[in-house]
Amino acid sequence: MAGMWGKARELAQMAPPERNRWVDFLRALSIMAVVFGHWLMAGLYVDGAGQLQRGDLLSTQQWTHWLTWGFQVMPVFFLVGGYSNGVSWDATLRKAELGQVGVYRDWLASRVQRLIAPTFPVLLVWAVIAVVMTQVGLDRAQISDATEAALIPVWFLAVYLIVTACTPLTHKAWQRFGWLSFAIYIPLAMMTDWLTFEMGVEYINFTNFLWVFLAIHQLGFAWREGKFENQIFALGWFVVGLCVLIAITVYGFYPVSMVSAPGGFSNSLPPTLALFALGLAQTGLVLALEPLGRKMLNNIGIWTATVLMNGMIMTVYLWHLTAFVLVMTVVWLAFGGMGLNSVPGTSEWWISRPLWLGIYMVALLPLIAIFSKHERSFGPIRGGRTVPKARVVAGVLLICVGLAMTAAITIASPESLSGIRLWVVAFPFIGAAFLGFGPVYAMVKRS
């Protein structure tokens, strides 16, 4: 870790002065919120009969539903994504004017690479684990639970890749229509919820993955163009978003919880108008804090920590639940469930949280050491060969379908001889091949 810190410090010192460090900090802070949120909300415990049970803090303590307003930070990811994608696409357009580049495939491949490269190892590792556990005769339901718990985070990547692929169109819409290119998504999200909850139209609610997150992504373009520089304006967004959120949850029929919780429908899978309102509130809050945040990041120590986290951010995100599953497996099989005798939400359970969070972090560290090198390990084919746009679109769609199915139905199969759904595992790899990614790992070092 000392070597990683030293490298991060070098990169931190090399950062150009015009770089918006608040973007990187929000990305790092958000990933930590997701990690600790998952570790805190989920929990296994041993019941009075000595059986291992799946625990859920949200099901035992209703007040914890309010905590999800802080831990559900997916909107912040898309806000930061809009800012970053806008910067990257503008740079590509400028180079295209100089005749250097100009291929949509090249730009999209560079954006997809950072996301999909570290995803391949976690898919392969869990595919092997599922096959081995099946062949040794373990209960298939337990195998499915383990793979589902470890791989559920990949749903975000499927949605983010689609939103990113739309950047040329959404960016052009922002340049031409400004705020209207954001506002159009409000009635679309409202109509989707109305069709879902009032008219009972099935599956229409999944379109809100686009309407809600494309809208927040548009706000990233607005942020980059300085539309939120006025702190009063940004605070106004926070207040309006918060008021709408309170109105439709506390006084409306939407659940307070911003993640899936017992006793109601999910506000996040798929998103609802409530998550949209949360995104507006979070946008206003984090952008109102930007001036203070950028001053804070002048501290080389804080900025180095931010750079370090951003250098392994996908590894942390993709493997943190694997660390959780491994810890629980070892505790159950090797130590007979020692320390798991308290039900989530009890005072004893809360007192033990710092210890367990520390254990999860320790378990995650070797996974980071092993797999963080793959953050940029798959490279596109060299030689300047252009992949047709139709093939690019097909590749991204195959990746997204594979990741979405991984999260929705898991890679574990209750019937197949192998124990896994081979097509689910294969789709992301086939999609990467369509995009022109090389089949061999290659370490890509930053200059």
How sure is the predictor about 446, in pLDDT bands with cuts at 50, 70 and 90? very low
Q: What is the mean pLDDT of residues 243-251?
A: 96
- C-alpha 48/C-alpha 29 separation (Å) is 39
How far apart (Å, rounded) are the C-alpha atoms in residues 75 and 141?
Answer: 33
CB crowding 281-308: b at 16 or more within 10 Å, else e: bbbbbbbbbbeebeeebeeeeebbbbbb
Residue ranges in 336-383 assigned as alpha helix (H): 347-351, 353-371
Q: What does the pLDDT read at residue 383?
A: 44
**Which long-range contacts link 291-295 to residues 24+ away (Cβ below 8 Å)?**
291/231, 293/21, 293/22, 293/25, 294/20, 294/21, 294/22
Find the mean pLDDT for residues 29-44.
Answer: 89
324: helix, strand or coil: helix
* Residue 29, CA distances (Å) to 72, 340, 424 in order: 12, 29, 31
Residues listed for the chain: 447
Q: Is pLDDT of 64 > 70?
A: yes
Tell me the average pLDDT across 385-392: 71
Whether 224 has a pLDDT exceeding 90, the answer reads yes
Q: What's the predicted TM-score (pTM) here?
A: 0.91
Element (H, E) at 52: strand 52-56
Return the structure tokens found at 348: 């004893």
Question: Sign of torsion, CA 109 112 113 116?
Answer: negative
DSSP SS3 for 53: strand
> What is the pairing mode between strands 42-46 and 52-56?
antiparallel
* pLDDT of amino acid 382: 46
Give the rounded distance of the alpha carbon of 369 from its chain centre: 20
pLDDT digits 0-9 by tens, 306-330: 999 998 999 999 999 999 999 988 8
Task: Give the residue carrying structure tokens 């718990």.
Answer: 149
Percentage above 70 pLDDT, the chain: 93
Say if residues 403 and 165 touch (Cβ distance below 8 Å).
no
What is each CA distance from 353 to 53, 150, 342, 359, 380, in whole angstroms? 18, 20, 11, 10, 43
